[in-house]
């Protein structure tokens, strides 16, 4: 059996295990409200099914699916922030950046991919905005537009780039994606379970009151342990490097969650949308991946490719 399908079986086994733990908690401690956890796990089933479909699809179709996610996430982000009528053309250029970004990924053109949005889009969009002659709220709007592209297209695009990173036709890229997404998902659920069970000390009470020190430490430790086991089986990493990767995913996943929580609080919304039950919108589910994907990608790229 190909290693990719074994990895998919492991990922689904983790989801089944999480589902069983959820049922056990509901049965043993019915006085607590476990509805949020139940919805989280159900939503992760949908997400893992989506990524599994992408992994067994041809590369062009997988990147098209990732581009679709970026499109939906960018659209969702732009509906949350105030917009100016004069910015219709800059917004069009932002959406046109999506297919170009994923074309660069498909070509494995790393040098251009890594500067396209952080440099060229950063310079082009405000220059295009100036042509409208509207300077009211210019700095705020330009900053929000660039932040939207960086998070929903550039940062998430690193997930797609993992797929094409080993340019040798092997399954390594798909396994790297599954490792990243599976561990990010596991970290999210583990931090919630540890925090719900033992959490007392709040880490960021004004940003995300449900985030506790026990949840952070327990989630990171659990994620590192799973990475230590799966890393040598699914990726080119040995045990020490897999442990480091697990720590990276655990910590950066937590950072992505609270940073996007701060963004939503600043905007004045609890959830970015209603597309995913228990998680709100696309951005509510990409928050961890927005941080884990670029950091994990560059960790792998620096040491192995």
Q: Is the pLDDT assigned to residue 188 strictly greater than 90?
A: no
Lowest mean pLDDT among 220-224, 245-249, 276-280: 276-280
- In angstroms, the Cα distances linking 193 to 40, 217, 222, 260 are 11, 12, 11, 20
Tokens describing residue 169: 């036709």
Query: C-alpha distances in angstroms, 252 versus 105, 245, 249, 302?
Result: 23, 10, 5, 18
Cα–Cα distance measured from residue 279 to residue 256, given in angstroms and rounded to the nearest whole number: 15
Note the pLDDT of residue 87. Answer: 84
15 φ/ψ angles, rounded to the nearest 5 degrees: -65, -40
Element housing 204 (H / E): strand 202-204
Cβ proximity of 245 and 185 under 8 Å:
no
pTM equals 0.86
What gap in Å lies between CA 60 and CA 62, rounded to an integer?
Answer: 6
Beta carbons of 225 and 247 less than 8 angstroms apart: no
What would the mean pLDDT of 222-230 be, rounded to a whole number? 93
Contact 153/118 with Cβ under 8 angstroms?
no
Q: pLDDT digits over 102-143, tens only? A: 999 999 999 999 999 999 999 999 999 998 888 888 999 999
Write out pLDDT tens, residues 248-273: 999 999 999 899 888 888 887 766 55
Average per-residue pLDDT in the chain? Answer: 85
Burial tier of 288 (Cβ tally within 10 Å: 0-12, 13-18, 19+): buried
Dihedral pair phi/psi, residue 202, rounded to 5°:
-80, 135
- pLDDT tens, residue by residue, 4-18: 777 778 778 877 887
Residue 225 has what pLDDT? 95
Q: Cβ-count burial of 76 within 10 angstroms (0-12 exposed, 13-18 middle, 19+ buried)?
A: buried
pLDDT score recorded for residue 192: 82
Q: Which tokens go with 209? A: 């009151």
């Amino acid at each position: 059996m190909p290693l990719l399908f074994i990895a998919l079986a492991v990922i689904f086994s983790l989801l089944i295990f999480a589902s069983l733990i959820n049922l056990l908690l509901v049965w043993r401690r019915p006085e607590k409200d476990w509805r949020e956890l139940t919805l989280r796990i159900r939503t992760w089933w949908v997400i893992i099914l989506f990524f599994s479909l992408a992994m067994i699809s041809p590369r062009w179709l997988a990147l098209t699916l990732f581009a679709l996610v970026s499109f939906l996430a960018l659209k969702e982000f732009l509906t949350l922030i105030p917009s100016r009528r004069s910015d219709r053309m800059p917004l069009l250029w932002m959406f046109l950046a999506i297919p170009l970004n994923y074309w660069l990924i498909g070509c494995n053109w790393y040098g251009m991919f890594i500067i396209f949005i952080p440099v060229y889009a950063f310079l082009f969009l405000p220059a295009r905005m100036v042509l409208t002659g509207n300077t009211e709220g210019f700095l705020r709007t330009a900053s929000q537009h660039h932040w939207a592209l960086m998070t929903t297209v550039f940062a998430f695009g690193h997930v797609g780039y993992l797929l094409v990173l080993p340019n040798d036709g092997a399954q390594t890229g798909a396994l790297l994606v599954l490792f990243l997404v599976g561990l990010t998902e596991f970290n999210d659920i583990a931090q919630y379970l540890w925090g719900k069970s033992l959490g007392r000390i709040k880490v960021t009470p004004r940003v995300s009151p449900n985030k506790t020190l026990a949840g952070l430490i327990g989630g990171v430790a659990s994620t590192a342990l799973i990475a230590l086991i799966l890393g040598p089986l699914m990726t080119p990493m040995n045990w020490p490097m897999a442990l480091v990767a697990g720590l990276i995913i655990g910590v950066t996943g937590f950072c992505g969650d609270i940073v996007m929580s701060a963004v939503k609080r600043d905007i004045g919304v609890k959830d970015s949308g209603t597309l995913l039950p228990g998680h709100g919108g696309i951005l509510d589910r990409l928050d961890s991946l927005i941080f884990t994907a670029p950091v994990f990608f560059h960790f792998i790229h620096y040491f192995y490719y």
